Amino acid sequence: MKTASKTNLFLLELILMVLIFSLSAAVCIRVFAYSESLSSYSSDLSNATIKAQSAASFYKHSGDLEYTAAQLFGTIKDETVITYYAKDWRACADAETASYVLTIKEDSAKALIDIQKINESDNIFSLSVKAVQHE
Amino acid sequence: MKTNSHSTEVISGLLLFLLFATAMLFVLLFGAKAYQNISASMEEQYKERTCISYIAAKVRHADSAGAVSLVDFGGTSALSLDETVDGQVYSTLIYYYQGNLYELYAEKNSDLQPEDGFSIIAMDNVVFETVAPSLFRIECSLEGRTSEIFISTMSEKEASLT
């Protein structure tokens, strides 16, 4: 009787331990997953900033969407420059294999540059730029 | 009968402990993987971004009419950022020399040589190019990773290798 009681107590202790561990593991996994997604977002933001700055430089320099599209290896559709980027942020022509898209729209002598992930509505980075008149 | 019941309890206890140990291992592995990914991402960003960001920030800081140009400095292409202090023109020269990005602040057209500057960061290669007047292309490479940025300056003066 004494032995059975001891074993039950041991089992109960183990179950409690597994329960506490499960709770801690759930919290840890959530934190790990969040940190990974944050790291991925930070990497996307860094690359998007560089791409948007380069696009802004082309537009600022020329004030011309066609020139900007040619320099970015993009296309113009409905007065919007569209450039696709693969996962490694290299420009690609195929929209189906692309992971990111950069769009430039003209709006009253300004260009609005947006970069977003394909199939996501939120912009990773946005920039507004005005063309410079060179002498 | 008693022995059977006792061994069942022992086995279930052991199984529970095994479950606990396996779960602990998985959580540890998951954490290690997450740390590895974050560390790789940070290293990648360092390689791709640090040099580019530094140069871009310097150019934007110095950007005024005719202040940014590409010059030949001791046989290497250098980005020259000019500023006038008390009527004297000074240049900040940024260039790639012997595996490092260098910077040198001196009077314009001084007799200083590339080795007189101070090293900013070790890089495999840094390329400065003029794509069009006042439009520069900067490319930085480190350990197989290359990134580039185009910078349009306010400067009206044509940037050219002189």
Is A12 at the interface with chain B, CB within 8 A?
no
CA–chain centroid gap for B153, Å, is 21
The rounded distance, in Å, linking the Cα atoms of B24 and B92 is: 56
Q: Is A37 at the interface with chain B, CB within 8 A? A: no
Examine the pLDDT at B162 and tell me if it is beyond 60. no
Contact residues, chain B, for A132 at CB < 8 Å: 152, 154
Residues 6+ apart with CB under 8 A from A53: A127, B56, B149, B150, B151
| pLDDT > 60? residue B160 | no
What CA–CA distance (Å, rounded) separates B125 from B127? 7
Identify which of A35, A31, A52 has the alpha carbon closest to the alpha carbon of residue A126.
Answer: A52
Contact A55, A97 (CB under 8 A): no
How far apart are the C-alpha atoms of B80 and B66, rounded to whole Å?
10
Rounded to an integer, the average pLDDT of B87-108 is 91
Question: Smallest Cβ distance to B16: which of A15, A25, A29?
Answer: A15
Q: Distance (Å) from the C-alpha of residue A70 to the closest C-alpha of chain B?
A: 13
Chain A hits for B31, CB-CB cut-off 8 Å, are 28, 32
pTM higher than 0.90 for the full model?
no
User: What is the interface pTM, i.e. ipTM, of the complex?
Assistant: 0.78
The confidence score (pLDDT) of residue B161 equals 37
pLDDT of residue B159: 40
A7 in reach of chain B (CB within 8 A)? yes
Rounded mean pLDDT, A15-30: 87
Tell me if chain B has a CB within 8 Å of the CB of A28.
yes
Give me the pLDDT at residue B158, please: 41
CB contact under 8 A, A29 and B156: no
pLDDT of residue B156: 54
B37·A39 Cβ contact <8 A: yes
- Reported as a single tens digit per residue, the pLDDT across A77-130 is 888 899 999 988 888 888 888 999 999 998 877 889 999 998 888 889 999 888
Percentage of chain A modeled with pLDDT above 70: 94
Q: What is the mean pLDDT of residues B139-157?
A: 82
Q: Residue A134: pLDDT above 60?
A: no
Q: Which two tokens stand for residue B102?
A: 């260098």
Spatial CB neighbours of B128, under 8 Å, sequence gap ≥ 6: B70, B77, B78, B79, B94, B95, B96, B136, B137, B138
Question: Residue A121: its pLDDT value, please?
Answer: 82
Residues 6+ apart with CB under 8 A from B145: B44, B47, B48
pLDDT in tens, B48-68: 788 999 999 999 888 887 788
Q: Tell me the per-residue pLDDT of B104-122, one tens digit each, with 9 for 90 and over.
A: 998 888 888 888 889 998 8
